[in-house]
Amino acid sequence: MEYIRGVLTNIFKETMDFLERSEQFSQITKIAVKIIVVIVVARFTIKLINSVIDKFVERQKKSKLNIDFMRVNTMKGLMKSSIKYIIYFIAFTAIIKFFGIEVTGLIATAGVGGLALGFGAQSLVRDIITGFFILFEEQFGVGHYVEVDGVDGIVEEMALRVTKIRDFSGDLHIIPNGKISRVTNKSAGKMRALVEIPIAYEENIDSAINVLKEASEKLKLENDKILEGPTVLGVSNLEKSAVVILIIAKTVPMEQWAVERLMRKRFKEALDDAGIKIPYEKSVIIQQKNNK
């Protein structure tokens, strides 16, 4: 206890001695205030520029020009990321000047230790360079459905250093761009919608195919998300209790699942109207009465 009391007493004395030196205390207070002001201004500037970028992008989306909105959203994320790093770097150089450190001297020192710094920053540089290649080669963009090294989902944001992918369970995966080695873009080009319709063995296959073809023609005229088809390919499988007829269509990206759901609904209604049965499992309960 005596030792701890002595340590606390020394700390208190040193603190009081420092506070009595009004010049040093005033100088440090001024530096602290300047640092706070620089940080506040930097954060405000970033928010202001981000707001301007968002308004500009929304204005472009509402214009009548033929614009690739996914590419615009990708560029928006990259611009925000670049501006954030630039402003933070400017703020950092302003703060170190408050301590009497010249930026030119810091750069010279960095030149001496550049080799060591280079090894430490290899991953950061690789992330940024890979991000630029992903953008310029148009491998994928914001809003695309992709699979990246075993993670699949919708690209929510692309920055200089990382790519953010949200899967269908709601989890957000943040992947450094330098770690991306294999990408499967499932939103590039036309998407396939595939539906298998079972009919009972007792039904006439040709009649069922004709009904499905008529329903497909009507569906194509009503839905602008369908680019090709639906095309009835014919019998694809003979199962235990059903003959399976395969129908495929090509859709705009990310609409294949909605089109598949709509196809199943329309085909079921068309077969019901034609009196063609779709087999389903039935349970038969036999109850035996005891005669006494």
Per residue in 247-279, pLDDT (tens digit) is 998 888 778 888 889 999 999 999 888 888 888
Exposed, middle or buried, 43 (CB in 10 Å: 0-12/13-18/19+)?
middle
| Nearest CA-CA partner of 162 in 191, 138, 128 | 128
pLDDT at residue 18, rounded to an integer? 58
Burial pattern 70-100, b for ≥16 Cβ within 10 A else e, equals: bebbbbbbbbbbebbeebeeebeebbeeeee
Q: By the 8 A CB rule, do 195 and 219 touch? A: no
Residue 146, both tokens: 């992709």
pLDDT at 237 over 50: yes
pLDDT in tens, 127-161: 777 777 777 667 787 778 888 878 888 888 877 77
List of domains in the chain: 2-112 (1.10.287.1260), 126-185 (2.30.30.60), 191-273 (3.30.70.100)
Cα four-point dihedral sign 214, 219, 224, 229? negative
pLDDT at 90 over 50: yes
Mean pLDDT, the chain, whole residue set: 77
- Give the span between the Cα atoms of 78 and 91, in whole angstroms: 20
Q: By the 8 A CB rule, do 235 and 205 touch? A: yes
Residue type, 260: E
pLDDT at 234 over 80: yes
Q: By the 8 A CB rule, do 165 and 154 touch? A: yes
Residue 199, both tokens: 């009919």
Give 170's pLDDT tier (boundaries 50, 70, 90): confident
pLDDT in tens, 202-215: 888 889 999 999 99
pLDDT at residue 246, rounded to an integer? 92
Residue type, 235: V
> Percentage of residues in the chain with pLDDT exceeding 70?
71
Give 21's pLDDT tier (boundaries 50, 70, 90): low
The mean per-residue pLDDT over the stretch 109-123 comes to 52
Q: By the 8 A CB rule, do 124 and 161 touch? A: yes
pLDDT at 109 over 70: no
pLDDT in tens, 34-68: 788 888 888 888 888 878 877 776 776 666 555 55
pLDDT in tens, 194-205: 999 898 888 888
Could you please report the per-residue DSSP string of 224-270? TTEEEEEEEEEEEEE-SS-EEEEEEEEESTT-HHHHHHHHHHHHHHH
